[in-house]
Amino acid sequence: MPQMFDSLPVLYRDLLPGFFRQEIPNEEKATCSSCAMCPSSASGAVEAVDGVSRLFRPDTKCCTYYPKLPNYLVGALLSDTRDELGEGRRRIMEKISSHVGVTPQWVRPSARYNLLYRNSRQFFGRAASMRCPYFEEQQGGCTIWPYREAVCSTFFCKYVAGADGRKLWMTFKTYLALAEIQLSRYAVLQHLPEYILAGRDKPDPAETPTLEDLDDKPLPEKEYAALWRGWAGREDAFYRACFETIRALSPEQVEKIMGLDGVIELKVLEKSLRDVVAPDLPRVLKLNPEATVKWLADGSVALGAYSEYDAVALPGLAYSLLVEFTGREPVPAVRERLRKEKQADLHEDILLELYRHRILTEA
């Protein structure tokens, strides 16, 4: 099985604690090269919810999200001279030159994009206008993949451990996002302390775009120069300096920079990993009344619950057994009754899989 580190930019291998060397399940259901959510290969996908398609476009996949890149990852990309990253470097430099969403802490999407994203989640994976600017349409891949940020490192459309797997990766994202915030702040403090002292590193409030934002216009020249001070016009050099500062840190220094919040988030992540690698079947189960049920032409049934993108297909006969799980008696008693009355059984491994997908839930 892969290590947790394998899902992250290589930079983090020398920065994060040894916990991230632990093994995690291979998310083999979420295949990027042959997108598991595109119509040609969407086995197990929930194709529609309330009549609205949930399949992705082949020319967007799940990349209808604009990443918010911390300064040190931007610097890492710009410092990497490999030919295969040439297009990614070009696109980042083009973004920096636009001065839109370019700050000492982040290279981020515009306020206009964020407004659209917050109000178009139902079109995720399907709106070409929301495609990531670092997505290469012809090859269908990411041009900055080795230096992707927290969301891109931890998102999967399907999880081999179902709801438990989703929780693991969501807590992983929370930890990594905290690392991005704290490390990017630390880097700015070393190279442009005025930015921190002015409180510009504080989380952005809910953005209300201005007229200029809606037209994706950059900050006025004087305001932009005041933001960057002596680094204005040398933003790429600033980002490289941030990268050099961060990669020189030890795991002990990173732990100190992340503080108590980092300790707590790591504890939460540890528990989520235990739930994935050593799951327990609840004593009492019931069929989830909110599960989606779709009968297929061959008589089988597709059941979905924890995710709009993932479903479990079962023989129709199996569904008639699931309705016997009402939450009023322990699992062993239900199985024994099914063996006597219907000469049928659902093995514990199958029940565990259905529980992980929350088709069966704890009563």
What separation in angstroms does the CA of 349 have from each of 21, 281, 313, 318, 346? 28, 9, 15, 14, 8
Same domain, residue pair 249 and 330: no
Number of domains composing the chain? 2
The torsion angles phi and psi of 133, rounded to 5 degrees, stand at: -70, -10
Is the overall model pTM greater than 0.75, yes or no? yes
Q: What local confidence, expressed as pLDDT, does residue 137 receive?
A: 86
Instruction: Check which CATH number belongs to the domain holding 319 and give it.
Output: 3.90.930
Give the rounded distance of the alpha carbon of 336 from its chain centre: 41
| Residue 316: count of CB within 10 angstroms of its CB | 12
Structure tokens at 356: 């992980």
For residue 46, give the DSSP letter: -
Same domain, residue pair 290 and 248: no
Same domain, residue pair 227 and 301: no
Q: What local confidence, expressed as pLDDT, does residue 320 receive?
A: 92
| Residues contacting 9, CB < 8 A, separation 6+ | 73, 76, 146, 147, 148, 153
Same domain, residue pair 198 and 115: yes
Same domain, residue pair 182 and 302: no
Same domain, residue pair 141 and 250: yes
Q: Facing residues of 111 across strands?
A: none
Q: Is the pLDDT of residue 296 over 70?
A: yes
Same domain, residue pair 147 and 106: yes
Same domain, residue pair 78 and 151: yes
Sign of the Cα torsion 108, 111, 115, 116 reads negative
Q: Tokens 């700050």 appear where?
A: 103
Give the span between the Cα atoms of 285 and 324, in whole angstroms.
10
Same domain, residue pair 98 and 228: yes
pLDDT digits (tens, 9 = 90+) for 299-308: 999 999 999 8
Q: What local confidence, expressed as pLDDT, does residue 4 receive?
A: 94
Give the span between the Cα atoms of 77 and 101, in whole angstroms.
18
Structure tokens at 293: 């049920």
At CA 151, angle to CA 147 and CA 152, rounded to 5?
50
Same domain, residue pair 180 and 315: no
Give the span between the Cα atoms of 305 and 315, in whole angstroms.
17
Axis-axis angle for helices 162-191, 235-247 (nearest 10): 110
Q: Is the pLDDT of residue 363 over 90?
A: no
For the chain, what percentages of helix, strand and coil (3-state, to nearest 5) are there? 50, 10, 40
pLDDT digits (tens, 9 = 90+) for 185-228: 999 999 999 999 999 998 766 667 888 888 899 999 999 999 99
Q: What local confidence, expressed as pLDDT, does residue 54 receive?
A: 75
Give the structural domain span for 228. Answer: 4-277
pLDDT digits (tens, 9 = 90+) for 18-66: 999 999 999 999 988 888 898 865 555 555 544 446 799 999 999 999 9
Closest CA to 60 of 117, 115, 142: 142
Structure tokens at 316: 């129709």
Same domain, residue pair 98 and 133: yes
Same domain, residue pair 195 and 343: no
Give the span between the Cα atoms of 37 and 43, in whole angstroms.
8
